[in-house]
Amino acid sequence: MANVLTISVGSMSIKLCEISYAGNNIHLHKAAVARTPEGSVEDGFIKDEEAVVAAIDASLKANKFEARTAVFELFSSRIASKEVMVPDLKPKKLTQLIEANATDYFPVNISDYIVTHKSLETVTSEEDKTKQQRVLVYAAPKEMVMACFNIGYRLGLYVDRVDYAGNSVVQVAQREIGPESTMVVHIQEDNSTINILENNVLQLQRIVPYGKSMVVQALAEIKEVSLVEAEEMLATDELIHESFDGDELTDVLKYMLNNIERVVDYYVSRHQGVPIKNLYLTGASTELLGIEELFTNEFQFEVTANLPMNNVVIAADLMMPQEYTGRFIVNLGAGISPADFIPKEEVEKAKKDVDFQLLNLALLGAVLVSAIMILVPLVQLISMKSQRSTWQERVDSISDIEQVVGDYYTALDRTNDAKAYENLSWNPDNTLEALVEDLEDIVPSAVALNSVNISSGVVTMSGTTNTKDSVSKFLINLKALGYAENVMTGSLTESVTESGESSVAFSISFSFTDAGTTDDAEKNEKEK
């Protein structure tokens, strides 16, 4: 297989790899890391395309990359995902079904997004023995995807695919782990992806909006150094303690670990008797010395700093240690089975290119056919009959889609009726006990709550603090709760006391979800 250039653009660094695939092996020929120009990338969005193009171009030339076919990687908290169960259909019909129901999966203006999917497994119903597919559907902002194609074109590259980083990590993990229940935590720059696999099939995937950049920024503030210096210190000195013992830097990771613990609790509660055996850290974890020991002390299962990477073959002249490859795991998995975010504009462009080529062939063919028809008039008749037969076969092959779609909408109506009945039996105030317990953990120390009122599932709070940052932190913590939605600030009043101290009075409101402490992912998807 020809070499492929894989490119992942983060807010702190740009990683490039030249790879090829042979059987179950991933061959790493070249690798490089370039610093992302400051302010040019934010949560996956390219803010300064000129600067990013210049940085990639300089790295390609300096490291003598030769591959011209590129696969770009996306990682952003703005990429939504949803697991759905659909009828067991052929790939083309499955794609049509997913696209037709995209607005049901994601409460957004779907015209601003590009939707794709990955089939996880086929399951058989125990009741009626019918087959269904577990499918993970992704939606990425069109602006984010188009930026990858634009950058590729400006660099003179053929952009073959645009993949999702969470999918790429799973593709590599499936080659490196066994059938036991395993968690793979991929720490990225601005967020982290939690993946749980069993029997080498992805069972759960969640995004935590917390990554390496938060730790770097915290250290820079604590030590009063630049972000570059802080990043270097984290990679060379073991500054992260093995437990939460009050160390200011280590405590920064509490939010990440608390979210991971909640995902573990959710998974275990729905997979009784299938405990998680192993936890692998990948990505930026190797650049945060001490984090492996912290995870080991916080969780009850074995923690390893990186996947084995036994199937990664490193070029001899690259001189890269095997354990270092975890930093490039997103790039390594990019070309195995991409999620394929393809804009309609690219599809139309490819179609026009094909139509133009067909037109040229048709003109050439017309000349040849004319010459042949002079000698053998029967050729035209045979050709037309063959073409008619081909088109008829295509029409017949998709004729059953109407029945499939009809059956699907009938099943969807029944499901919605059942959900409506279930919702009628639920009281939103049932979540009160969970809220009281969580408030002890999520209210910042500088915040004093004056009142908390709950009525018909709507919660209103008022309080005071000394900075607006404390209010912002409180809002972020509330939004992370799996049962809170529509979190918003009602009022925010800043004043100064006679002693010169700042005081901020605020009010916050939110409502309980319609399922109390249900799946965190559903709440996250609504926010996105």
Residue 521 is predicted with a pLDDT of 40
User: If DSSP codes are grouped into helix, strand and coil, which group holds residue 495?
Assistant: strand
Contact 6, 334 (CB under 8 A): yes
pLDDT values of the chain reduced to their tens digit, one per residue, 528 residues:
689 999 999 999 999 999 999 999 999 999 999 999 999 999 999 999 999 999 999 999 999 999 999 999 998 999 999 999 999 999 999 999 999 999 999 999 999 999 999 999 999 988 888 999 999 999 999 999 999 999 999 999 999 999 999 999 999 999 999 999 999 999 999 999 999 999 999 999 999 989 999 999 999 999 999 999 999 999 999 999 999 999 999 999 999 999 999 999 999 888 887 889 999 999 998 899 999 999 999 988 889 989 999 999 999 999 898 888 999 999 999 989 998 898 866 545 534 443 444 445 556 665 565 556 655 555 565 666 666 676 666 656 666 666 766 777 777 778 877 776 666 655 655 677 788 888 888 888 888 888 888 877 788 889 999 888 888 888 888 888 888 888 888 778 888 877 778 888 889 888 887 644 444 444 444 443
CA angle in degrees (0–180, nearest 5) for 169-174-177: 110
- Output the CA torsion sign for 98, 70, 14, 196: positive
Cα 329 from chain centre: 14
User: If DSSP codes are grouped into helix, strand and coil, which group holds residue 465?
Assistant: strand
Q: Which helix (DSSP H) or strand (DSSP E) does residue 41 occupy?
A: strand 41-42
Distance in angstroms (rounded) separating the CA atoms of residues 261 and 21: 35
Residue 339 is predicted with a pLDDT of 87
CA angle in degrees (0–180, nearest 5) for 461-464-468: 100
The string over 352-379, giving b where at least 16 C-beta atoms fall within 10 Å of a residue's C-beta and e elsewhere, is eeeeeeeeeeeeeeeeeeeeeeeeeeee
Amino acid identity of 127? E
Q: What region, left, alpha or beta, does residue 243 occupy, with left being phi > 0 and alpha being psi -120 to 50 degrees?
A: beta
Contact 282, 169 (CB under 8 A): yes
Residue 501 is predicted with a pLDDT of 81
Residue 522 is predicted with a pLDDT of 43
Nearest to 46 by CA among 70, 77, 74, 65: 74
Question: 């279930």: which residue's tokens?
Answer: 422
Question: 């009938």: which residue's tokens?
Answer: 410
CA angle in degrees (0–180, nearest 5) for 359-360-361: 90
The string over 294-320, giving b where at least 16 C-beta atoms fall within 10 Å of a residue's C-beta and e elsewhere, is bbbebbeeebbbbbebebbebeeeeee
Nearest to 289 by CA among 250, 247, 322, 261: 250
The residue length of the chain stands at: 528
Distance in angstroms (rounded) separating the CA atoms of residues 109 and 365: 46
The string over 469-496, giving b where at least 16 C-beta atoms fall within 10 Å of a residue's C-beta and e elsewhere, is ebbebbbebbbbbbbbbebeeeeeeeee
Amino acid identity of 164? Y
Q: Which helix (DSSP H) or strand (DSSP E) does residue 207 occupy?
A: strand 201-208
Residue 394 is predicted with a pLDDT of 63
Q: pTM, whole model, 2 decimals?
A: 0.66
